[in-house]
Amino acid sequence: MDLTEAERMMLVKKKEEICGLTLQILDMAHDRQKKLEIKKNFTTIISLLSQIASYSHTKHNLTEMTKAISLLFLMMDEETIHKTWQTSPYAIEFVCNFVNTVRFDFTKKDLTINIPKMDLSIFKTSKS
């Protein structure tokens, strides 16, 4: 099924929003004081990707991407505890680039309706 033009434009705007969020993240990547804001932006990105995926197909595994972002959060927390911030900016840059390269096939997913089998024996006529 094809998407309407309005649906396509909505999805393109969501991709543009993801790009904008990653640009904000990149501006903050070297400042560990901005860790919470970076995490919030990544969480918003995950939500936007999920919304886009509900309208489309992708070859990327979004579950694995979510796990990778969660691991990045752990790395950021660990570096904050140890008062270092050396690895995180590079990992943040990598993840930002990765989320911007997720490609979607903008066609509607087929709707599948599973109808359970029903016992229609009440409609059978009994022969006497």
Please return the burial class of 80, using the count of CB atoms within 10 Å of its CB with bins 0-12, 13-18 and 19+: middle
Half-sphere exposure of 1 (CA within 13 A, CB side): 10
CATH number of 5-123: 1.20.120
pLDDT tens digit sequence for 5-21? 888 888 889 999 999 99
More confident residue, 84 or 89: 89
More confident residue, 106 or 7: 7
Q: Where are the domains of the chain?
A: 5-123
pLDDT of residue 70 exceeding 80, the answer is yes
Which residues, at least 6 apart from 50, have a Cβ–Cβ distance to it below 8 Å?
A: 62
Q: How confident is the model at residue 114 (pLDDT cuts 50, 70, 90)?
A: low
